[in-house]
Structure 1
Amino acid sequence: MSGGEKQRIALVRALMMNPDLILADEAISALDVSLRIEMMNLMIELQEHIGTSYLMISHDLSNARYMAEKTGGYIGIMYLGEIVELGTATEVIENPSHPYTKALKWATPELSTFEDSGEEMPIRVIDIPDAVDVPSGCRFHTRCPKAREVCTQERPELAIDKANDEYRAACFRDYGDDHPYWESPETTEVKEQTQQ
């Protein structure tokens, strides 16, 4: 059987139990692009008929955007096991707030606008910290080009956007002008990179 046929069979097997929720972990990652769209359309069609919800895990922001836009769903961005941004496809993809979401968008060629805009690369280093021994404070501070000392010590919570209570981001820069982030000095790593 082809990869697409195997995926369809797996979906049908899951639906035979009449679940309220299906966890689809990288359910379409092994398929080529044309089959991905076909499989996502099948999932959406079955959702409309059966009423099943999906929690779809994907490393491809394009797939996440497609599913969220077609179903009216949400995209949650995770970094080292924590959700750092949550909202609709438009909010998260078109106007990302968290530096990690910006890095994911930058790394997705069909979504990236950084070359055209002249913005700086939204990530300092490519190395990913140990997922077992996570950094203190904000987990992304070791890679974030905007990190300050407060980011190394305190962990930001998902803050609700005052203008939109369905959107959340975990970054001190979104906490308002009176947050200690703005008075905190840059981390040593950011200073060294700026001087180079």
Structure 2
Amino acid sequence: MARARWRACPYRELPELARVSSWEALWLDPSAAGLPVAAARWVVEYGRSVWQDAVSAGEASEQFLFLRAELVSPFPEVPETLAELSAHHELWLATEGAGSLQRRKLALSGLADHFARILISAEVGCSKADPAFAKAVRTHLDATGRTLCMVVGDSARTDLALAAHGSWPALHICDPPTCPVSEPGVHHGRGIGEVVRWCECRLFELA
């Protein structure tokens, strides 16, 4: 029911809501998202309607918000790997979703300090799969005089599309033996630690 209600939202074309799922919307803070008044009211009412069949809608909503926040934690090896990578590179994060939600999740994960720049689809104005997102990344690269070594991600639909639109090499996080993706410039690995193996700037060899 929640999915059907969310699909009926008349404000889903707003950048802050365009790539938000029905369950993510349940912990979206309309005030932090900077939504128009009418859209913010709709999101609040959506949450109330989803929980209305619960024994205690208010209690259920509060419990969900608490548990959802508790679930935001990185895989054990990720903080150490990001620290290793950032010793040789400036790390940028490209992510899909509402800016307020993505920044909140990043803060809760404890990983925010590893990234020098954060590009969120809602703030860029399009999905990572859109050529315009790659153009935005290139604009930032040109402005800072930097080059992009590698796009790393687990989504063939968005992350590999970003790499393809920017003509950048990519590391696809997947199960390499079973992954059906076979594209030039795309490497495959089970985790972000594989970047050390495939990074084409060779800075790791100089350390």
TM-score for the superposition, normalised by structure 1: 0.31
More strand by percentage? 1
RCO (CA 8 Å, sep 6+): is it higher in 1 or 2?
A: 2
More helix by percentage? 2
TM-score for the superposition, normalised by structure 2: 0.30
